[in-house]
Amino acid sequence: MAVNLLEKSGKGLAPAQFVESMTQNREAFAGWYDRFAWPNEEDRAFFESLRSRDDLRCFILASDWCGDVVRNVPVVFRVLEAARIPVEVLIMEQHLDVMDRFLTMGGRSIPVVIFTDAGGNVLGKWGPRPAHIQEVMVRFKQEHPDRNAEGYEAALNAARAEIIRRYGEDAEYQKSVVRELRELLSEV
């Protein structure tokens, strides 16, 4: 069954409202937003070429407490600004009905960037993190399916440390977000 989010139109926050409403991590979020740079002119031109399309919309499931939101949503905001695609941020805790339609490996992982047409029909999604970073969590979940098993917490902490290492100190990871969003939007 196809997913339609038309009923959520107008129920989310504009990007600026989301940032203003942040009670945690606002400075870090703004820092990643300010550090954004286009990987190349072709990427910028691709997203700017989407300005001629009036059929695309975007919903982002997010919460200010989430480190992946703080890292990735500033990049998403930047590319969608260039594309002039309307964006609404749905706070995960207020929109669990949507969250539960977009689980990652059975869990509530954010951000989830959902592209729809003007009628609310879902065209594609991205998230919660770039593929080369997400593969750490995929491997962890495959190797540690039992949350109650001995060593689970230690292995989870090691996986989280590796995720942070792969993000790195600089904004290099942002190139992956741009590339993956471009690949997704090239197909819709």
- Would you say residue 99 lies in a domain? yes
- Would you say residue 147 lies in a domain? no
Strand order in the sheet with 87-91: 87-91, 57-62, 112-116, 122-126
Q: What is the CATH number of the domain that holds 14?
A: 3.40.30.10
- Would you say residue 40 lies in a domain? yes
Q: Report the Cα–Cα distance between both ends of the chain, in Å, rounded.
A: 18
Domain count, the chain: 1
Q: How far apart are CA 41 and CA 3, in angstroms?
A: 34
Q: For residue 13, what are the domain limits?
A: 6-128+174-186
Q: For each of the chain's 188 residues, which pLDDT tens digit applies?
A: 589 999 999 999 999 999 999 999 999 999 999 999 999 999 999 999 999 999 999 999 999 999 999 999 999 999 999 999 999 999 999 999 999 999 999 999 999 999 999 999 999 999 999 999 999 999 999 999 999 999 999 999 999 999 999 999 999 999 999 999 999 999 99
Q: Which of 122, 102, 128 is nearest to 56 (CA)?
A: 122
- Would you say residue 134 lies in a domain? no
